[in-house]
Amino acid sequence: MITQVLVLNGPNLGRLGLREPEVYGSALFDDLAELCRSTGRKLGLSVEVRQTDDERELISWVHEAADGRLPAREEFRHTPVVAGVANGTVAGFGLVSYQLALQAIAELAAEAEPARSPGPELAPEPGDIAP
């Protein structure tokens, strides 16, 4: 079973690469989206990347929004609001943060998946080698 992952991006990420490239880099949002999808494929994840400048739409996607640990931003953003319910947060590594988060999701999904062993009701596939 392939794990489905939504990568949700809020206001201004659509301007990635255009808005303050000296701060945020020159990669465009489409580059980020493709990076997420290709990283997901390598990790066995199905990744859908969304971006909106409408916070109402973003909230409707997740019913809560939070920035992780972003020390260079406003003081209120220094307190992660999902820390109590999240398995972890990744921030501060630019586009690599997305790859690191997807890798962690793939590993958590693999750990949560029950071990698959054929039971007596399952016939061996052609070419299977008996133990």
Helical pair 29-42 and 96-112, crossing angle rounded to 10 deg: 30
CA–CA dist 43, 95 (Å, integer): 17
Per-residue pLDDT of the chain (131 residues; tens, 9 = 90+): 788 888 999 898 899 999 899 988 899 999 999 999 999 999 999 999 999 999 889 888 866 734 443 445 556 555 666 667 778 888 888 889 989 999 999 999 988 877 544 434 434 445 444 44
Phi, then psi, of 4 in degrees rounded to 5: -90, 130
Residue 13's domain comprises: 3-112
Residue 128 forms part of a structural domain: no
Residue 59 forms part of a structural domain: yes
CA–CA dist 46, 42 (Å, integer): 10
CA–CA dist 61, 9 (Å, integer): 10
Question: CATH number of the domain that 86 lies in?
Answer: 3.40.50.9100
The partner residues of 47 in beta bridges, in order of sequence, read 5
Q: What's the whole-model pTM score?
A: 0.59
Residue 126 forms part of a structural domain: no
Phi, then psi, of 92 in degrees rounded to 5: 90, 5
Residue 62 forms part of a structural domain: yes
Number of domains the chain is built from: 1
Residue 42 forms part of a structural domain: yes
Residue 45 forms part of a structural domain: yes
